[in-house]
Every structure is written in structure tokens, then in C-alpha cells.
Amino acid sequence: MEIHKTDFLIIGSGIAGLSLALKLKDLGEVTILTKKRAFDTATALAQGGIACVQSEDNHFDLHIKDTLIAGDGLCKPEVVELVVKSAPERIKELIDWGVEFDRDPKNPQRFHLTLEGGHSRKRILHVGDYTGRAIERVLIERALHSPNILILENHLAVDLLLERNCSSKPCRVVGALVLDLIHSQVKIFVAEVIALCTGGAGKVYLYTSNPDTATGDGIALAYHAGVTIANMEFFQFHPTCLYHPKAKNFLISEALRGEGGILLNPEGKPFMHKYDPVRKELAPRDIVTRAIDMELKQSGGECVYLDITHLPSDYIKKRFPYIYETCLKFGIDITKDPIPVVPAAHYLCGGILTNIWGQTDIPNLFAIGECACTGLHGANRLASNSLLEALVFSHQAYLKIKEIYQDFKDNYNHLPKIKEPEVKEIKEEKIFISHNWDLIRKIMWDLVGIVRSIKMLEFAYKRIIFIKKEIESTWEGIYLDLDLMELKNITTVAELIVRSALSRKESRGTHYLLDFPEKSKEFERDTLIKG
């Protein structure tokens, strides 16, 4: 088996992985693995922007307060403070790397700041309505021009390798078993430090704003390596994804509500005043999502509508060019017509448990970005805090790695003995795999969605375990089939979400349980599952 040595192994090529690589390159050789193309990330789809205190009418305390309110009692205050106060420095770094945020047309010295749900002040920097794409481009470009960074596409990490004969826990991670999907080959990558930056897991649900790559790979890898996973019950549903039979995963940014967009029920009437009389459309996401869910259940309608036709047509086209063009392709002119929208799975607030340095239970294994649970988001993430979290924690991780990486220089000598795994081919029809994909996603959408009950969760759990056992017995080992390898990961993630949801007997943030509709003092703590 080919063994590749690198100083730092980063799995994932979104904002977390790339920004970490751009820092670590000065300490040693960095290898970034990505299972598809480098650009196929959730970062590249992010529309809204990055929250950062910039103007005089704003203050760190207000951003901290808004984050804590959205997080519904479960954020770690020290993490929130760190992230909010580090934001200006991290944004400056992004600008130095080449990201050009929109400027205020009246005062080009200043950034154009926008508003989203849960924010008490305008504090979101953006690049039109394609902020993530603009950032991803700049970071990839810089990484490609850095001699110390190697990006390997079509490489899927299938297992983390822990040190041989580890007697005292926690054991160190020494490398990863990686499937090269182009050359049908399993390789070993040995590294001093590994960082999981694999993004979210929206594909576990039938409807999602996430890219096809969001299959919770990092969480499954960490869980199977014995690492603690936290708060998986808190899956955030974005209130407004485009409702159209041909539109796949297309988000209608919360920034439209920030610009005064009004939600209308299927009868064409505003309804948010009934659910949150003060904040209305700009209430935190969990509240808006449940309000839409309720309106749809009561009316039997298929979608609600988001109306921004009060804004001048030219302004809409300039401010939201990507959304305007995409909707137009589906026959919807957003300058004239309300946009049909439905909620969809958007962001996993839980994930691999880390400390304030992005470090997991294993001292040389880090998790950054959506795959991590740092304590910033609590039970419900505040809009536009996700790209920010990735930036702040890649910096935190860099500081810690700089301090410890020399201790793991001898990792090669700790490699466990591994028999070369066979790369198997699928013998039967692929329908068995796609059917299980559909089943998991439908079970999760129908039974583990916006509104849950113990009965629904128990029903879902039995079915997921049945599918898991069937997959394990039918397709044990490594297959040259990305769909199958991802199916294994979404099944693990689905199981973790349901187990966590079953153990939290209260309603908080994005986790709403009909049997326990109130918050409980007893549950003001993380839900932990050790792999």
C-alpha cells in the first residue's frame, strides 16, 4: 500500500480547511483531501455573509447577546465572546487575502452591512448574494499558488488510524486510510496533525439547502475513532428554500427578509406577527421555520411565499443578482412576484466536540467548521455566524498546532500494522444503494424533522438501525463507490441525530418535541455520545 507522508493532513476544502492550510503552510507541508472537486463545498453556496461588528451603532456586546438568544441557553459564553471579538481581525485577514466585500455606495470607506434574522443591528458583510463563492475562489486560488499546499481531489478518507499499542488514553491519531476514487486505490496518509473540516450533513434529510457533498463524513470518521460527538439533535432548518419541482437545494437568503421581505401564507396573508409580534420575519430561524411549518399544516398548502416586490426592481437585481437570475430561470421574476418557499435542512449545530482550540478528545485531531461542535451555536445558530466560526477556529487551531505539532513528529513509527484492504466493486444493481439513501432521508424528514415526538423518534430509530445492520452485513469494507461510502456515513449521522433527540426530553432551539414543548432546567447541558 502506498504510504504518503505529510506534516498536516486536512480533510475538506471549504473555508475551514483552506484558511487553516494557508496558515499551516508556514510550519510545514500541508495536504488537503477532498472527495470531489475542491470547489464542491457548502462554503461555495453560502449566500448571506459574515457577521462582524463594524459600525459605531453596533457593539460586541450586542452581537454576543444576539448569538446567546438565538442559541436558546446552550451556547458556551466564553466561546461566543471569543468568536465575536476575534471577528474584525479575521475579516481583515480575509480582505488581505483578496476578498472584496461590498462597500456602502454612499460612503465607500465603509462596508455595506445587512441584516438577517436574530440580529439586532446591521452587521453582516457580504459580496452581493454570493459571499461564499467569492471567498472560496480567493482561498482556493491562494492555496493553489502555495508551494507547501497540495490539494488532492477525488480522495475520500475512509478511516482514521490510531497509534499502535496505545495503552494510555487518549491515543494519538497517526494518519488516515484514504480511497483514491480515480485510481481505485487505498493509500495511507501519515501526518503529525489531522484536521477534520468536512462540513455538514444536510444530505441526511430529504430536503436540504446543502450541496451533495454534505454527508457528515468527518463526524462518522471521528465517531468510529472513539471521539465524543455532541448535540446532534440540533439540526437547523432554514425557513426559505425555493419551492419548485426543478430547483435542487436552492436557498433564498435570509438577507431578503433583512431588506424587508414579508412572508405570506398560501392565502397570501402575512402571518409572522402571530408567532413573534416584535421581530416578525426577523425572528431567529427556529421560530420562523416552525411558524411556516404550522401555517402549512393548518392550510394544507405546499409552500408559503416571500415577497420583496416593495423594493425597487433595479435595487433587487443589484443586491441579489444570483437569486434574481436563478429564480428567473424557473419562471419567477422576484421583482414582480412573491417567491414560493419551504423550509429545508440547512445547518448542523452539533458535531465533533472540541475545546476552544478546535481540539477533539484526541490531542492531535482537530475539527473545524460545521462538522465541529465548539459551543458557539448552542441549540440554534445565529445567521451568518458559520463562516465566521470556521475562520476563528481555524486560527485557534493554528495557534494550538504550532505549539504541539513537534510532539507528533515520530507518528510514522507509531503506525498500526494494516493489511492492505481490498477495494471492492458493487456486484448487485445500484438500486439497493439509492433505495437505502432515499429511505434514510425520508425517515429523517418525516419523523426527525422540524416538529418531533417520542413516538416518531422511536419509530425512526428502529428503522435506521435495521438499515444500518443491512448495510454492514451486505457491504462490509471499502467499495469503489462514493454513493455507498457516503450512505454508510449518513446512516451513522442519522443514528446519532435520533439517539441525541431521544435523550433530550425538552424543546429548545431547533429541537421541538411535542411531548415536552417547554424548556427544562434539567437539560441545560450538552448531549454527548462517545464513539
CB of 382 to ligand SIN, least distance (A): 8
CB of 132 to ligand SIN, least distance (A): 9
Judging by beta carbons within 10 Å of its beta carbon (0-12, 13-18, 19+), is residue 106 exposed, middle or buried? exposed
Of 46, 81, 5, 141, the closest CA to residue 347 belongs to: 46
Question: What number of chain residues touch ligand SIN (CB under 6 A)?
Answer: 10
Q: In which element (H, E) is residue 485 found?
A: helix 482-503
Site for ligand SIN in 47-76 (CB under 6 A): 47-48
Instruction: Measure the CA–CA gap between 39 and 30, rounded to whole angstroms.
Output: 18
CB 12 within 8 A of CB 199: yes
Closer residue to ligand SIN in complex, CB, 175/202: 202
Site for ligand SIN in 115-154 (CB under 6 A): none
CB of 279 to ligand SIN, least distance (A): 16
CB of 212 to ligand SIN, least distance (A): 18
Closer residue to ligand SIN in complex, CB, 275/322: 322
Applying CB under 6 A, which of residues 19, 54, 386, 489 lies at the interface with ligand SIN? Answer: 386
Site for ligand SIN in 335-354 (CB under 6 A): 347
User: Considering only 77-85, 198-206, 253-261, 509-517, which stretch makes contact with ligand SIN by CB under 6 A?
Assistant: 253-261
Grid coordinates representing 50 are 459574515
CB 79 within 8 A of CB 376: yes
Largest distance between two CA atoms of the chain: 68
What does DSSP say about strands 351-353 and 228-230: parallel, antiparallel, or unpaired? antiparallel
Closer residue to ligand SIN in complex, CB, 175/351: 351
Closer residue to ligand SIN in complex, CB, 316/447: 316
Q: Is the dihedral of CA 313, 316, 322, 324 positive or negative?
A: negative
User: Which stretches of 102-154 are assigned E, i.e. beta strand?
Assistant: 103-104, 107-111, 124-125, 149-152
Work out whether 254 is an interface residue with ligand SIN (CB under 6 A).
Answer: yes
Work out whether 360 is an interface residue with ligand SIN (CB under 6 A).
Answer: no
Work out whether 41 is an interface residue with ligand SIN (CB under 6 A).
Answer: no
Work out whether 255 is an interface residue with ligand SIN (CB under 6 A).
Answer: yes
Helical ranges in 376-453 per DSSP H:
386-404, 431-447
Applying CB under 6 A, which of residues 198, 210, 359, 384 lies at the interface with ligand SIN? Answer: 384
Q: Is the peptide bond before 312 cis (omega within 30 degrees of 0)?
A: no
User: Considering only 13-21, 85-93, 180-188, 378-386, which stretch makes contact with ligand SIN by CB under 6 A?
Assistant: 378-386
Q: x/- string (CB under 6 A) for ligand SIN, residues 412-431?
A: --------------------
Closer residue to ligand SIN in complex, CB, 136/254: 254
Closer residue to ligand SIN in complex, CB, 207/461: 207
Judging by beta carbons within 10 Å of its beta carbon (0-12, 13-18, 19+), is residue 137 exposed, middle or buried? middle
Q: In which element (H, E) is residue 487 found?
A: helix 482-503
CA distances from 301 to 294, 336, 340, 398 (A): 11, 22, 11, 49
Applying CB under 6 A, which of residues 253, 326, 354, 359 lies at the interface with ligand SIN? Answer: 253
Closer residue to ligand SIN in complex, CB, 152/345: 345
Q: How many CA atoms lie within 13 A of 229 on its CB side?
A: 30
Helical ranges in 145-267 per DSSP H:
217-224, 255-258
User: Considering only 180-188, 247-255, 306-314, 500-508, which stretch makes contact with ligand SIN by CB under 6 A?
Assistant: 247-255
Which residue of the chain is nearest ligand SIN when measured via CB? Answer: 48
Give the catalytic positions in this structure.
Answer: 285
Work out whether 114 is an interface residue with ligand SIN (CB under 6 A).
Answer: no
DSSP label at residue 228: E
Binding site for ligand SIN (CB under 6 A): 47-48, 251, 253-255, 347, 383-384, 386
